[in-house]
């Protein structure tokens, strides 16, 4: 069977556990940088286009990044009735900024990225997402997001935590109770926080998902988890946290989102509702964290 054979060449592999890996054939490595914080690589692949790896973990591919960036952005934007000031923590590739920039009503978008190298690399090699930095409403802060939010009170309508995984700095501090409390306080009385929430399948990802939910649940009166199918993240199912002071993600959905006429390839209002319906094994794990 010709199509079952693995050809030789340059393969990028991410280890999902001791016993499972995911591999993508690359035809070229565009860059490999060791910043003060992490290793950053960009490859070119026939199947997924360019892809960004940080510390050996897949951050995005050109082919499926739309799923992650649409879901982390349009879900809260389709709930909050009047988002004017947004804070993005992490997200140095610019994909979340690109999606936010589609909303004319937003007045300012602050992004706090700790690692300037991520922005530089993406501006050079991944313009598909880095174009998000071109919006004049975007203000870039090269700082530690943890410290940045600790200094903000009652300032944002929406905070999007577009972080790496909580394995070592800089990602780790973005999953602590203290950080979530600070995000809560940095939001206005009807603010929403959305975060990258780990995966429900492999052991390391489950740990991240459970810890995140356990802590966010303690801090926000409304704390729900939603999913998206992301082919290049471990197991293909990935979670987002929806934490809110006032609005419920389904009951308070805007009726007029389609009126914005934003062209999406994954998100739509029916899927928005469906994304909060979780598989039983995931629901069960999340329930365990809610005591
Ligand atoms: N933010 C990182 C997602 C982490 C995915 N983790 C994983 N696959 N183990 C994505 C960057 C896109 N803005």
> Residue 202 and residue 13: Cα distance in Å, rounded?
16
Question: What is the Å distance from ligand 1's center to 247 Cα?
Answer: 26
Mutate to test the pocket of ligand 1, among 50, 164, 234 (most ligand atoms within 8 A of CB): 164
Report residue 199 as tokens.
């995966």
Residues 154 and 209 in one domain: yes
Residues 10 and 111 in one domain: no
pLDDT of residue 2: 57
Residues 113 and 215 in one domain: yes
CATH number at residue 194: 3.40.50.150
Residues 22 and 131 in one domain: no
Q: Is 233 in the pocket of ligand 1 (CB under 6 A)?
A: yes
Q: pTM to 2 decimals?
A: 0.96
* pLDDT tens string 58-74: 999 999 999 999 999 99
Residue whose tokens read 């929406």: 158
CATH number at residue 12: 2.30.140.10
Determine the structural domain holding residue 23 and report its residue range.
Answer: 4-61
Average pLDDT, the chain: 95
DSSP annotation of 41 reads E
Rg for the chain (alpha carbons), in Å?
A: 18
Q: Is 115 in the pocket of ligand 1 (CB under 6 A)?
A: no
Q: Which of 93, 110, 162, 205 is catalytic?
A: 162
Phi, psi of 247 (to 5 degrees): -85, 135
Q: Which residues contact 119 (CB under 8 A, 6 or more apart)?
A: 92, 94, 113, 130, 133, 140, 142
Report residue 285 as tokens.
């794990």
Ligand 1 atom 5: the closest Cα is on which residue? 59
Q: Is 164 in the pocket of ligand 1 (CB under 6 A)?
A: yes
Residues 91 and 57 in one domain: no
Q: Answer yes or no: 110 catalytic.
A: no
Residues 8 and 114 in one domain: no
> Residue 151 and residue 158: Cα distance in Å, rounded?
16
* pLDDT tens string 203-258: 999 999 999 999 999 999 999 999 999 999 999 999 999 999 999 999 999 999 99
Q: Is 60 in the pocket of ligand 1 (CB under 6 A)?
A: yes
The count of domains in the chain is 2
């Amino acid at each position: 069977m010709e199509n079952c054979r693995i050809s030789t060449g340059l393969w990028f592999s991410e280890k999902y556990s001791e016993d499972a890996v995911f591999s993508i054939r690359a035809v070229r490595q565009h860059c490999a940088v060791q910043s003060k914080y992490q290793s950053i690589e960009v490859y070119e692949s026939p199947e997924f286009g360019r892809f960004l790896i940080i510390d050996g973990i897949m951050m995005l591919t050109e082919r499926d990044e739309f799923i992650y960036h649409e879901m982390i952005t349009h879900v809260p934007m389709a709930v909050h009735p009047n988002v004017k000031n947004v804070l993005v923590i992490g997200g140095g590739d610019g994909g979340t900024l690109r999606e936010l920039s589609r909303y004319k009503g937003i007045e300012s978008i602050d992004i706090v990225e700790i690692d300037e190298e991520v922005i530089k690399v993406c501006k050079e090699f991944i313009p598909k997402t880095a174009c998000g930095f071109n919006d004049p409403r975007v203000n870039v802060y090269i700082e530690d997001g943890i410290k940045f939010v600790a200094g903000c009170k009652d300032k944002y309508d929406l905070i999007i935590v577009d972080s790496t995984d909580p394995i070592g700095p800089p990602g780790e501090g973005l999953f602590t109770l203290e950080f979530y409390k600070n995000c809560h306080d940095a939001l206005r009385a009807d603010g929403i926080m959305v975060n990258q929430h780990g995966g429900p399948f492999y052991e390391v990802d489950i740990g991240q998902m459970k810890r995140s939910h356990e802590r966010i649940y303690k801090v926000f009166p409304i704390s729900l988890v939603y999913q998206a199918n992301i082919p290049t993240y471990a197991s293909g199912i990935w979670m987002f946290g929806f934490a809110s002071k006032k609005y419920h993600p389904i009951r308070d959905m805007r009726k007029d989102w389609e009126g914005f006429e934003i062209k999406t390839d994954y998100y739509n209002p029916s899927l928005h509702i469906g994304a909060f319906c979780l598989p039983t094994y995931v629901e069960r794990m999340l329930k365990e964290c809610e005591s």
